[in-house]
Structure 1
Amino acid sequence: MTRRDDEPTFFVLDYVTITRDPRTQLVVAIGGGPRAAGILQTAGGFHSAPSAARDYHRLPHHMPVEHQRHGATAAAHALLLAGYSVHLDPSLNTLTAPDGDRQAARRYLDLLAERARAAKTEQDVAVVLAEIAAPEEGLLPQLVQSLISTWATWGERRREAGLDEGPADQLMEITSSLSNHARRITQIRNQAARHTPPAAAPRRPSRLQPSRPRRLRDGDSPDP
Structure 2
Amino acid sequence: MMAEVAWSRRGKMSHKEELGTCSFYLDEESFHICCQVFLQHSNMISDGWSWTEVKGVEGYMKKTVLIPRRCSLPNQLWQQKNDEDIDSLIEDQVDDDASTACAVCVMQDVILYEYHVLYSSSYQVPILFFTVSTLDGRLLSLEELWNTIHPAYKKQLLQWPWDTLTQQEHPILGQPFFMLHPCHTEEFMRPVLQMANAEKRRINYIVTWLSIVGPMVKLEVPISYCMAEAAST
Query: What is the TM-score normalised by the length of structure 2?
Result: 0.23
User: TM-score under structure 1 normalisation?
Assistant: 0.24
Structure of larger gyration radius: 1
Higher RCO structure, 1 or 2 (CA under 8 Å, sep 6+) = 2
